[in-house]
Amino acid sequence: MRNVQQRFKMHVPVAIIGAGPSGSLLAWMLRRKGIESIVIEARSREYVEGRIRAGVLEQGTVDTLIAAGVGDRLKKESLHHRGVCIGFKNEHYILDFDKLIGRGVTVYGQQEITKDLLSALDRENHNVLYEAPATMVEDLESETPTLRYTYEGKECELTADFIIGCDGFRGVSRQSIPASVLKTHDLVYPFGWLGILANVKPSKEVALFSHNDRGFALLSMRSESVGRLYLQCRNDENLDEWRDDRIWDELDARLGAPGWTLERGEITQKDVTPLRSFFSEPMQHGRLFLAGDAAHIVPPTGAKGLNSAVADINVLAAALINRIQNDDETLLRDYSDIALSRNWQVQRFSWSNTAMYHIFPESNSFTRRMQDAQLEYLVSDETAQILYAQNHTGLPFAHKPEF
């Protein structure tokens, strides 16, 4: 399988497009059950492993990675957060999830998860082709759909029993579903997040989400010595206009509270992420199945994108294993409905959190007062806090493969 010539017309049980968290986790779970797959990834391994994104893991995600045998480093290096802190009217309010519902969240970088999964696949000599962009998937309604891709300057193709689109929001898989079948729902927000990574000790024990007249800000972290912080910004923000001092001053102004100091440190990375809510349904057409960002995007306010991808993969891996090893198609047939029903709830939490915390350019005194009322209710009412805690720490995962 490692020979390029043989790749021109091969057939595999499962072809996975994308080696992000969705694709690499699915390949690994199938492999653990002895099911062969190939992963086709557009970018280099260094690029995939270096992409700084998520950091907050739900318990279901942590349990999944540990059960799948890729949780050793996570267990050693992650941080447990017992809740979050909410900044509102220049005061900080702790929501203690551990106390409210008996579970918190785990902080461990997405790129570390990807490294753990890709190294595990590597150790088993799993077929992952990097710098091999998929260009098209076709014959989806046949029993052997085709995947076309480019590798080492050559046009290649393979057939598979199942093709899995884990190729993120801008991939090719979703676009290959006929428009007459695919329904999409989209909301583009009139702002983005300017994110920084900094060599700094976190100024709080847990993440601080702050609603402020100047805009939303978030203090998060990756470790005891690396901070990850965000500022609500324009979608087309020019990073050249954001010198380090200006970023720290703005964070200070939005996150601050009397008696509390924001630690500053060397900024090692800056990026701007536009915010979007997007959903496509169904998540399956013929023998193509979508998972993760290929099917849905949430604004990062709820820290849900990666966790939803892992929830999708749990159901899909269990369904493929049932279909391939036990010839039982029931779960695979229901995959789209099961994944969609959880994802709608995740969309609701991410959307309502985004609406509660950010300053919208079109807001007026009424909408601003409603945001205040929502935040006042949240920081003072235990029932509201329990609901927030249940959503933030994660809704249950529907199905899991047994390892």
- Interface residues toward ligand PHB, by CB under 6 A: 54-56, 207, 218, 220, 228, 300-301, 303
Applying CB under 6 A, among 20, 87, 104, 227 the residue interacting with ligand RFL is 20
Orientation of helix 365-380 relative to helix 382-393, angle to 10°: 90
Distance, in Å, from the CA atom of 263 to the CA atom of 399, rounded to the nearest integer, reads 42
Q: How far is the CB of 371 from ligand RFL (least distance, A)?
A: 22
Please, which residue, 207 or 231, has the CB nearer to ligand PHB? 207
Q: How far is the CB of 357 from ligand PHB (least distance, A)?
A: 10
Tell whether residue 305 is a contact of ligand RFL (CB under 6 A): yes
Footprint (CB under 6 A) of ligand RFL, residues 84-143: 110, 133-134
Tell me which DSSP letter residue 397 carries. P
Please, which residue, 336 or 391, has the CB nearer to ligand PHB? 391
3-state DSSP assignment of residue 330:
helix
Please, which residue, 228 or 285, has the CB nearer to ligand RFL? 228
Q: How far is the CB of 370 from ligand RFL (least distance, A)?
A: 26
Phi, psi of 383 (to 5 degrees): -65, -45
Facing residues of 196 across strands? 229, 270
Residue 380 burial (C-beta neighbours within 10 Å; 0-12, 13-18, 19+): exposed
Please, which residue, 13 or 274, has the CB nearer to ligand RFL? 274
- Contacted entry of ligand RFL, ligand PHB, none for residue 301, CB cut-off 5 to 8 Å set by kind: ligand PHB
Hey, what amino acid is at 323?
R
Please, which residue, 149 or 357, has the CB nearer to ligand PHB? 357
Tell whether residue 309 is a contact of ligand RFL (CB under 6 A): yes
Tokens of 101: 């519902």
DSSP sequence for 101-115: HS--EEE--HHHHHH
Is the separation of the CB atoms in 265 and 198 below 8 Å? yes
Please, which residue, 130 or 169, has the CB nearer to ligand PHB? 169
Q: How far is the CB of 86 from ligand PHB (least distance, A)?
A: 12
Distance, in Å, from the CA atom of 110 to the CA atom of 20, rounded to the nearest integer, reads 9
| Interior angle at CA 55, CA 71 and CA 206, nearest 5 | 105
Residue 179 burial (C-beta neighbours within 10 Å; 0-12, 13-18, 19+): exposed
Q: How far is the CB of 19 from ligand RFL (least distance, A)?
A: 5
Facing residues of 145 across strands? none
- Contacted entry of ligand PHB, ligand RFL, none for residue 307, CB cut-off 5 to 8 Å set by kind: ligand RFL
Interface region with ligand RFL, contact rule CB under 6 A, candidates 6-14, 20-28, 85-93, 253-261: 20-28
Distance, in Å, from the CA atom of 391 to the CA atom of 384, rounded to the nearest integer, reads 11
Footprint (CB under 6 A) of ligand RFL, residues 311-370: none
Tell whether residue 26 is a contact of ligand RFL (CB under 6 A): no
List of residues contacting ligand RFL (CB under 6 A): 17-23, 40-43, 48, 53-56, 110, 133-134, 166-168, 171-172, 193, 195, 273, 292-293, 300, 303-307, 309
